[in-house]
Structure 1
Amino acid sequence: MKTQTKSKKVNKAWLNDHVHDPYVRLAQKEGYRARAAYKLKEIDETLGLVRPGQVVVDLGSCPGAWSQYLRRRFAPKQAGVGGAAVGELQGTIIALDLLPMEAIEGVQFIQGDMREDGVLAELEAAVGGRPLDLVVSDMAPNLSGVEVTDAARIAHLIELALDFAQQHLKADGALVAKVFHGSGYSQLVEAFKRQFRVVKAIKPKASRDRSSETFLVGIGLRQSPSR
């Protein structure tokens, strides 16, 4: 009963924080599906990663807030209003997630597990050999609470994103990936540094203070893949 009571208190506290969260309210006002849109927005505004005309892959895209943000950035000024922008699209967005995602006009969505060869092949077919300007990854595993196990699961997803980026990014392209401080974090930073010329760690204001998440950004491949 004590555990149940504690769980209820935690859920109530989270709900209270969520309801009063300024980014939740802003997302509702501006038509984003989740407050996560403002994390990518701050990263983009800090580093200037997103530009109309690019080819971008959004990994771990559900519920679609990052794809929405990208969609708006690729929309002509007059179309970039409302929920997910509609009308003309200056760029290409390919999104992938395990979970189903409500359609966003102009965004090609693939549902599946990137760890499966068939799904990865489908994603690569959608890319169609085009060099990517940007890969964004909000992928996160189901956490068990066992630090060593969780660190391994997180590292595996980051390795998948790094490998995909290495194979498909332009020489001056960028990867944005969610990571968590804790066991294995320094190794992930080193993995980014081995692959990219510039590596930055950013914790956006929209990322809750008590959350251990941060975002690693790698810009410019140290060695371009031979295509």
Structure 2
Amino acid sequence: MDTSHLAEHAGTAGALFASIFVVATTTMRTMIPLRVFGILANVVLFATAIPIHNYLVMVVQAVMLMVNSYRLHQMLQLVRDVKKSVNSDLSMEWLKPFMTERNCAAGEVLFYKDEKAEDMLYIVSGRFRLVESGIELPIGAIVGELGMLSPSNTRTQSLECVEAGRILSVSYSKVEELYVQNPAFGFYFLRLSSARLFQNLDALEKRLAQQIAKNAEAKPA
């Protein structure tokens, strides 16, 4: 059997294996396995194009291999960063690549209580205050994420800019998209939001206890 026949059979076998990978990807619901099988298909198709010197296929598959590898790296990094956030200081630095920047002026109200909630915010600089509770949020805080978990998707408090600063915002639809692409992300995000909810409840309990103590001291004997 000459070299041309070997190349032809190798190409046929490679195309068959690549087709199996492609069919397998159609049955997958999550992004990480999809990217992995896409990479395998790219490698097989690239390898089978070498014996027949099909440079066009080689170039296309090389580009697709780089794209799939990069996207897989992004998703794995996202999951690692969320895990790290859950197990440490609950920082949401990992969401920055998916957020849009916005400058805020002093006195500006970013959202009002009971209005429809569509995004959550990350405070980069400036001073911001929750109007109803009087709580001032520090730089690096996330606000508005619990509206996504609320059945009515409404704001529970108003947010005012006390001192000009900058925020980053991400829409709930983007967060939902990340969840659909990778259920692991959704799981860790839920844990993160739950931890923040318990932190908020703890802060409110402390404020209530302080208020009760002040009232007791002010009460005449």
- Using the size of structure 1 for normalisation, the TM-score is 0.22
Point out which structure has higher relative CO (alpha carbons under 8 A, 6+ apart): 2
- Using the size of structure 2 for normalisation, the TM-score is 0.23
Give the structure with the higher percent strand. 1
Greater C-alpha radius of gyration: 2
